[in-house]
């Protein structure tokens, strides 16, 4: 009961927009007290001005909209919160081990904190290399804050969500831009490692998202992951008449 009162207290402090909506109930259901304290710290720093609605919920993370401030200007934010108690994080291991940037003699909770830091650093590296990714803002413990991709608090669709509507776009230009971004990412010493139509948003241009599992090119499985990414993209775009040879495409990326 005491924790419930504390949760209600932190929910009040976070200035959740539309307090009478179902969003407040979702916050209370999916966020534990430790995470609410983390969000409050980010709010106290002025990064989060007001929390908004749920963008996406999943087994490993929930994403919320927020109004925020970054470098002195107002900005729409996506607040990605990894679940500390999730049972799915054993799947992280193959993407973490082999990454020289981190020490892995850690507990499960610390692993989630490391994963959050890893996604932030991957986003930062990609963004600095001019890859189309959400601009990273900051991170703390299991909370990652980045630029919101979308309009009027509605997130941009993924390629999977666009489906057949992609045929109305310049499909070849879209494919070519995705390939160029894969190449830019590789030149920044990163491989996405989970790229598909589900992890590319479209908002006037394609944006790579979900960068937590991205690995450095010296990771022992980096080439396997790169080939899988390319196969996924080729498979998806083959539905729209785009055909490219996998080996030629791979050679173009790594040369």
Residues with active-site annotation:
194, 210
Contact between 53 and 18 under an 8 Å Cβ cutoff? The reply is yes
Rounded CA-CA distance 158/198 in Å is 6
Contact between 94 and 124 under an 8 Å Cβ cutoff? The reply is no
The helix (H) or strand (E) run that includes residue 77 is: strand 73-82
Inter-axis angle of helices 2-13 and 22-30, nearest 10: 130
Three-class SS state of 152:
coil
Q: Which of 173, 165, 157, 178 is nearest to 239 (CA)?
A: 165
């Amino acid at each position: 009961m005491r924790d419930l009162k504390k949760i209600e207290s932190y929910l009040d402090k976070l200035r959740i927009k539309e307090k009478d909506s179902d969003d407040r109930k979702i916050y209370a259901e999916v966020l534990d007290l430790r995470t609410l304290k983390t969000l409050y710290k980010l709010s106290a720093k002025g990064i989060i001005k007001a929390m908004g609605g749920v963008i996406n919920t999943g087994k490993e993370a929930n994403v919320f909209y927020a109004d925020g401030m970054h470098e002195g200007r107002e900005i729409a934010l996506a607040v990605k919160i990894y679940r500390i108690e999730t049972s799915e994080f054993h799947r992280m291991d193959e993407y973490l081990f082999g990454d020289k940037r981190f020490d892995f003699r850690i507990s499960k909770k610390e692993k989630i904190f490391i994963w959050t830091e890893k996604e932030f650093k991957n986003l930062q590296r990609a963004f600095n290399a001019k890859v189309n990714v959400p601009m990273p803002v900051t991170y703390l413990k299991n909370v990652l804050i980045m630029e919101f991709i979308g309009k009027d608090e509605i997130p941009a669709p993924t390629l999977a969500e666009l489906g057949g509507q992609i045929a109305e776009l310049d499909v070849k230009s879209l494919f070519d831009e995705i390939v160029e971004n894969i190449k830019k990412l590789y030149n920044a010493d990163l491989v996405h490692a989970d790229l598909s139509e589900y992890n590319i948003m479209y908002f006037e241009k394609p944006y790579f998202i979900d960068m937590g599992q991205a690995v450095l090119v010296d990771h022992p499985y980096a080439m396997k992951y790169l080939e899988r990414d390319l196969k996924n993209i080729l498979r998806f775009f083959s539905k729209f008449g785009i055909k490219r040879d996998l080996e030629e495409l791979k050679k173009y990326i790594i040369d």
